[in-house]
Amino acid sequence: MVVGEFTTDVDTLIIGAGPGGYVAAIRAAQLGQTVTLVDKDELGGVCLNRGCIPSKALISAAHRYEIAKHSDEMGISAKEVSVDFSKVQVWKDGVVKKLTGGVGTLMKANKVQVIKGEALFVSPNEVRVYKGYESDRLRFKNCIIATGSRPIELKAFPFGKRILSSTEALSLQEIPKSMVVIGGGYIGIELGQMYAKFGTKVTVLEGAGSILPGFDSEITKWVDRRLKKAGIEVHTTAFAQSAEQTDNDVTVTFKVGEEEKQVTAEYVLVTVGRVPNTNDFGLDIAGVKLNERNYIEVDDQCRTNVPGIYAIGDIVPGLALAHKASYEAKVAAEAISGLPSKIDYLCIPSVVFSDPEIANVGLTETQAKEQGIEVVTGRTSYGANGRALALNDAEGFVKIVARKDDGRVIGAQIVGAEASNLIAEFCIAIETHVVLEDIALSIHAHPTLGEMAMEAADAALGQSAH
């Protein structure tokens, strides 16, 4: 319905079409809301277009290439294995296109109106959407903000031809001869290992005392070992100072303690974190409050301080994870419909698609003890698992953490092949208050990687058969 000359009334307005925004749109539509979705870029947001999906596609291709070159011990020798990286990129783009196209189909199926444009709040219940030289005014009953985040750009390392963010690093048309990765967190390690497998000489600079800060050293040491095996040079407690660029390369000056060092490479990839997209679209005009780090504070139903305005995903405090955004999306959409849904962060898995993969959920043994919780733990090795040995990928372990008094599972850590898939069983266990006996007494198929969950539970109960 058109009100006045320029303003259109909408029911539920969603700003941002990433894994938070488009999931919110679908859930809101399922609940009978009339939904309008606005995004200045492509459906799927960073995750589908410039993050999760394209990076995992390239990581998968690199893994296939590595296997093709190094299967001699299995009696398989491939001669003259080569990479056409431009074709790899075409394949990756095809994967992205299938998924973003699928999101578009879902929008149509759920009767979600999609507007490509840039939203700017002009009041607490109205936005102007800019589409080139034209604009529309939309007045909403409820609004879910899901604008995501962007890579941090360091002042001394401005993004350009030779200094890249993860976005540009995923779109290179040729395999670099060399690359310096500033930041040894999950993005830096994933992309650094991926390019190293394709033949790039990679140097990683990490400011913390170890790579993948935030994960236990008993896990990260397995990845560190693979980095060294791949010829990746890692400097910890290393702080990048400056960059000197030419047309063909970049020389990075960095410090390790008081010692100044330099490394020259074709490209520099900066992966030191992300910042929320909460600026430049009128949140102050709408009256939405930000905290000191420019995140939007929300309650347990994703409501901001302004009635009718909700916020989800990377723009609210907490982990910047696509699956967290999708979870919050459902809560916000349901809250608008009057359902008693509330956010509960008891169980958010963290996954790194490194080599080997890492997955963590709930509390580690150290975290539990810091909280005064007495625990029992069980651990089983990939090296004792028949399926892992048959895959020729038997490095790593599965560890389960449970309360000592009642055996309730409160955490799990995995490092090894398919950790990203194996962690799901432990997510369900924590979420549904499962105890060790429940997992130990559940018959797991053999031979599978999944039976390591049962073995870990058996170990925690002191009754391991292996």
Along the chain (466 residues), what's the average pLDDT of each consecutive run of 10 residues? 63 97 98 97 95 97 94 89 96 97 97 97 96 91 98 96 97 97 97 98 97 92 96 97 96 96 98 95 97 97 98 96 97 98 94 97 96 98 97 96 98 98 98 97 97 98 90
Residue 375 lies in a domain: yes
Do 102 and 133 have their domain in common?
Answer: yes
Do 74 and 91 have their domain in common?
Answer: yes
Give the pairing type, strands 163-164 and 267-270: parallel
Do 46 and 169 have their domain in common?
Answer: no
CA angle, residues 175, 179, 180, in degrees to nearest 5: 160
Task: Supply the range of the domain harboring residue 248.
Answer: 163-272
Per DSSP, the three-state class of 200 is coil
Is residue 400 within 8 A of residue 436, CB to CB? The reply is yes
How does DSSP assign 100-156, residue by residue?
A: HHHHHHHHHHTT-EEEESEEEEEETTEEEEEETTEEEEEEEEEEEE---EEE--BTT
- CA–CA dist 145, 310 (Å, integer): 6
Do 198 and 298 have their domain in common?
Answer: no
In this structure, what CATH number is given to the domain that contains residue 449?
3.30.390.30
Looking at residue 3, its pLDDT comes to 40
- CA–CA dist 110, 107 (Å, integer): 5
Query: What is the DSSP secondary structure assignment for residue 315, as one 8-state letter?
Result: G
Query: What is the DSSP secondary structure assignment for residue 442, as one 8-state letter?
Result: S
Query: What is the DSSP secondary structure assignment for residue 384, as one 8-state letter?
Result: G
The domain total for the chain is 3
**Residue that has been written with the tokens 């993948």 in this structure:** 212
Residue 465 lies in a domain: no
Residue 341 lies in a domain: no
- Pick from 263, 269, 288, 265: which is nearest to 278 by CA? 288
Q: Which of 242, 272, 302 is the last residue of a domain?
A: 272
Containing 449, the helix (H) or strand (E) segment is none
Do 86 and 119 have their domain in common?
Answer: yes
Residue 345 lies in a domain: no
Residue 347 lies in a domain: no
Is residue 391 within 8 A of residue 356, CB to CB? The reply is no
- CA–CA dist 222, 219 (Å, integer): 6
Per DSSP, the three-state class of 201 is strand
Residue 157 lies in a domain: no
Q: Which of 272, 297, 315 is the last residue of a domain?
A: 272
Residue 157, number of CB atoms within 10 A of its CB:
24
Residue 2, number of CB atoms within 10 A of its CB:
8
Do 242 and 203 have their domain in common?
Answer: yes
Q: What is the pLDDT of residues 207-241, one digit of tens each?
A: 999 999 989 899 999 999 999 999 999 999 999 99
Q: Which of 228, 256, 272 is the last residue of a domain?
A: 272
Burial 5-37 (b: 16+ CB within 10 A, else e): eebeebebbbbbbbbbbbbbbbbbbebebebbb
Phi/psi-derived region of residue 330, left when phi > 0, alpha when psi is between -120 and 50, beta in every other case: alpha
Do 124 and 227 have their domain in common?
Answer: no
Residue 445, number of CB atoms within 10 A of its CB:
8
- CA–CA dist 139, 424 (Å, integer): 41
Residue 351 lies in a domain: no
- Pick from 281, 323, 343, 289: which is nearest to 119 by CA? 281
- Pick from 11, 9, 14: which is nearest to 103 by CA? 14
Do 138 and 281 have their domain in common?
Answer: yes
Looking at residue 115, its pLDDT comes to 96
Rg of the chain over Cα atoms, rounded to whole angstroms, equals: 24
Per DSSP, the three-state class of 459 is helix
Size of the chain in residues: 466
Looking at residue 34, its pLDDT comes to 96
Do 242 and 100 have their domain in common?
Answer: no
370 Cβ contact partners less than 8 Å away, ≥ 6 residues apart: none
Is residue 436 within 8 A of residue 457, CB to CB? The reply is yes
CA angle, residues 238, 241, 247, in degrees to nearest 5: 115
- Pick from 465, 324, 331, 462: which is nearest to 402 by CA? 462
Do 304 and 373 have their domain in common?
Answer: no
Residue 225 is which amino acid?
R
Catalytic residue among 70, 235, 323, 446: 446
**Integer CA distances (angstroms), 80 to 65, 68, 69, 83, 199, in order:** 11, 10, 9, 10, 14
Do 7 and 129 have their domain in common?
Answer: yes
Do 287 and 249 have their domain in common?
Answer: no
Stated pTM of the model = 0.94
Runs of H (alpha helix) within 337-380: 365-370
Largest CA distance in the chain: 76
Residue 362 lies in a domain: yes
Looking at residue 374, its pLDDT comes to 98
Q: Is position 446 annotated as part of the catalytic site?
A: yes
Burial 313-325 (b: 16+ CB within 10 A, else e): bbbbeeebbbbbb
Q: What is the pLDDT of residues 64-93, one digit of tens each?
A: 999 999 898 899 988 889 999 999 999 999
Q: Please report how the helices 186-198 and 52-69 are oriented relative to each other, as an axis angle in degrees rounded to 10.
A: 40
In this structure, what CATH number is given to the domain that contains residue 223?
3.50.50.60
Looking at residue 1, its pLDDT comes to 37
